[in-house]
């Protein structure tokens, strides 16, 4: 099978990376909030805000990845 011949495998790869992306977005938001709290002395409020933004960014990426995988599978079924 030639590389890129089966769009199902590409979609599976995109969907499999969602977990790592959600963890990374959450940790970046949490870390940014933590350092902003240390800098401004507002503990724990900015850390919680950063955590919420990180989780929200992770879910936005989740929805975008699933939508792209869905589109790829729909296009391959239509051929």
Q: What pLDDT, in 10s, does the model give residues 22-66?
A: 999 999 999 999 999 999 999 899 999 999 999 999 999 999 988
Per the model's pLDDT, the better-predicted residue between 52 and 71 turns out to be 52
CA gap 57, 25 in Å, rounded: 6
pLDDT for 3 equals: 58
pLDDT for 79 equals: 60
pLDDT for 1 equals: 47
Query: Could you give the 3-state DSSP secondary structure of residue 2?
Result: coil
Task: Count Cα neighbours of 1 within 13 Å in the Cβ-side half-sphere.
Answer: 7
Q: Answer for the pair 54, 30: CB distance below 8 angstroms, yes or no.
A: yes
Q: Answer for the pair 14, 65: CB distance below 8 angstroms, yes or no.
A: yes
């Amino acid at each position: 099978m030639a590389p890129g011949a089966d769009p199902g495998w590409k979609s599976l790869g995109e969907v499999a990376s969602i977990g790592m992306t959600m963890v990374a977005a959450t940790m970046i938001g949490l870390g940014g909030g933590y350092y902003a709290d240390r800098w401004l002395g507002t503990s724990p409020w900015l850390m919680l805000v950063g955590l919420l933004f990180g989780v929200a960014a992770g879910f936005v990426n989740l929805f975008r990845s699933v939508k792209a995988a869905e589109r790829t599978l729909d296009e391959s079924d239509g051929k």
